[in-house]
Chain A
Amino acid sequence: SQTIHQWPATLVQPVGSPLSLECTVEGTSNPNLYWYRQAAGRGLQLLFYSVGIGQISSEVPQNLSASRPQDRQFILSSKKLLLSDSGFYLCAWSPANTGELFFGEGSRLTVL
């Protein structure tokens, strides 16, 4: 069966520090991968999606970046965090462009 894991689950970082959130999918190949952010009291904002290794599409200009070094690995990064980067980050995958989205457990980032 397919599983998705992301880590760390909780992160507290100072402003200006770097960020790396990692997401791994198991039990499937060539998944579509997504990073979403959910700010407090707000909906889900699509940040990045990827349809293959090295293929990243950015939805929102910001100081975040994403990479897909392997087929089932998706990484969200920042060189210098801002206060506004605080939120709940969710990784997700889907087997096809119209299939069900499967979400990871989420990573709660607090930037102080």
Chain B
Amino acid sequence: AQKVTQAQTEISVVEKEDVTLDCVYETRDTTYYLFWYKQPPSGELVFLIRRNSFDEQNEISGRYSWNFQKSTSSFNFTITASQVVDSAVYFCALVPGTYKYIFGTGTRLKVLA
């Protein structure tokens, strides 16, 4: 089976706190891609990052960082010093070498001022 699990349905944090969004995936393919998307209240999905299965280096982009661990099939997303503008639904997605993007159910992040 190929699937993406985002077990955290909703997370609330206070501004300036760090928060980690979990993503666990399943695939038998050895070549695949992983994505994170942000969906602000406006509804449109915004691309955040793409990672291929052969690159386990962690990535940092400003306050955002991603931890890819093949051993645990996880691709977690951390926001450091969260801000109110980070409030959104975040989706993790798997592309297991086909045309089909498999999305998780999303995690709603609420950052309170």
Residues of A within 8 A of B (CB): 32, 34, 36, 42-44, 46, 49, 51, 57, 59, 88, 90, 92, 94, 97-98, 100-106, 108
Q: Which residues of A contact B52 (CB under 8 A)?
A: 98
Q: In the complex, which range does the number of interface residues on chain B fall in?
A: 20 to 34
Q: Which residues of B contact A42 (CB under 8 A)?
A: 105
Return the contact of A105 from the options B44, B95, B106 (Cβ within 8 A): B44
Residues of B within 8 A of A (CB): 6, 33, 35, 37, 42-47, 50, 52, 91, 93, 95, 97-106
Given A88-B43, A105-B43, 4 more A-B residue pairs with CB atoms under 8 Å apart are A43-B6, A43-B91, A46-B102, A100-B35
- Assess the A49–B99 pair: CB atoms within 8 A: yes
Nearest residue (CB) in A for B10 is A41
Return the contact of B99 from the options A32, A100, A106 (Cβ within 8 A): A32
Q: Which residues of B contact A101 (CB under 8 A)?
A: 35, 37, 45, 47, 93, 101
- Assess the B45–A90 pair: CB atoms within 8 A: yes
The smallest beta-carbon distance between A23 and chain B, in angstroms, is 13
A108, B44: Cα distance in complex, Å: 11
The smallest beta-carbon distance between B99 and chain A, in angstroms, is 5
Return the contact of A102 from the options B47, B95, B98, B103 (Cβ within 8 A): B47
